[in-house]
Amino acid sequence: MLLDRLNYYMRSTWLVAVTSGACVILVSERGDVIEHPTSHASQWSALMQRLSAPLSGTEVGELAALIPDLDERLWDLLVDGGYVASSQDRDTLVELQKSVFQNNQGFHLTAVDPVCGHLILACTGSIVSGLMAPTILSLCFSRFQRRFDVVLTESAQRFVTRDLLESYGIRTWTDAFERREQINVPHVQLGRSADCILVMPATANSLNRIATAACTDLLSTTVAASKAPVVLVPAMNEAMWSNRAVQRNVQQLRDDGMYVIEPTLIFGAVDLATGGDAMYGGHGTLWGGPRSLIHALSAIIRSAGAARTE
């Protein structure tokens, strides 16, 4: 692949990158979508991870050489379409990266025509779960889905409470054996009726439970009992995300037909006050906010529907 070695490149701070076993889906700030068939999802994932910070043209070329289906035409499309930012001045991209802290889009309160029939959103035991309320409320306000359920794992309840969500009228589940509103076996009935299951944020632990069909809690049991597309949004520090065992689980999930929203930089919870290293997580680091999540879920649901009809 030919590219300008004098330039620096970085993924757009608004970009949402989704990988599966069969394709990579890239969603721009405007909601434009590139769906590219690939059997090299792990290499695309590595490229997206590295492009969270500015890279030289030489560095990008070395990474791109590991992706046989990333040719010059596609790369030009990514740059020209704003999916990847470029500049001869590295500091320009560094400032763009920093700008997300001042331009965070926490809420998206614009109604849209429903895209999803029944959406199940599961929060797991990441501190990012404590940031999920604006996204959950935005999904409700936007009417993205006709029916909405939230699942909180046991550890997620350390960061977000059932009382908060149900005060807004959002049906919330915490117990695999709970019975309510004529639902007697939650994982069977929720799994059967779901049109999309979104796990956000997804910890390394939850990814492992889902990858192995552990069926030890309501989340992993519901996923195992459902034929709906499953969208996973990992959130963890860089060392954990790069861990080989975690990456094996993520690749297994892709191979099983699930969709992974590739994490990128977000402030590190432990070191926020002291200015420590960044971590990875969130849909486009949460900077694009609920609007970028809605764009991404819409693209995934379309892609999953097209795959089922082929």
- Are 19 and 27 in contact by the 8 Å Cβ rule? The answer is no
Q: Is 23 helix (H, G, I), strand (E, B) or coil?
A: strand
Length of the chain, please? Answer: 310
Residue 269, pLDDT score: 56
Residue 112, pLDDT score: 85
Residue 239, pLDDT score: 84
Residue 29, pLDDT score: 86
Separation between Cα atoms, residue 259 and residue 296, nearest integer Å = 11
Residue 289, pLDDT score: 80
Which of 55-69, 79-93, 147-161, 266-280 bottoms out in mean pLDDT, i.e. has the lowest? 266-280
Map out the domains of the chain with their CATH numbers. 8-99 (3.90.930), 116-309 (3.40.50.1950)
- Residue 62: partners with Cβ closer than 8 Å, 6 or more residues away: none
Residue 200, pLDDT score: 95
pTM of the model: 0.92
Q: Which residue has the tokens 């794992």?
A: 153
**Average pLDDT estimate for 159-177:** 95
Of the chain, the percentage scoring pLDDT greater than 70 comes to: 90
**Average pLDDT estimate for 163-186:** 93
Q: What is the pLDDT of residues 249-304, one digit of tens each?
A: 999 999 999 999 998 866 555 555 666 666 666 654 455 788 889 999 999 999 99
Name the H helices within the chain.
41-50, 57-64, 72-80, 90-99, 133-142, 162-167, 186-193, 204-211, 218-224, 238-242, 244-255, 289-309
**Average pLDDT estimate for 121-142:** 93
Separation between Cα atoms, residue 304 and residue 300, nearest integer Å = 6
Residue 35: CB atoms within 10 Å: 17
Separation between Cα atoms, residue 61 and residue 198, nearest integer Å = 34
| Mean pLDDT, rounded, of the chain | 90
DSSP state of 83: S
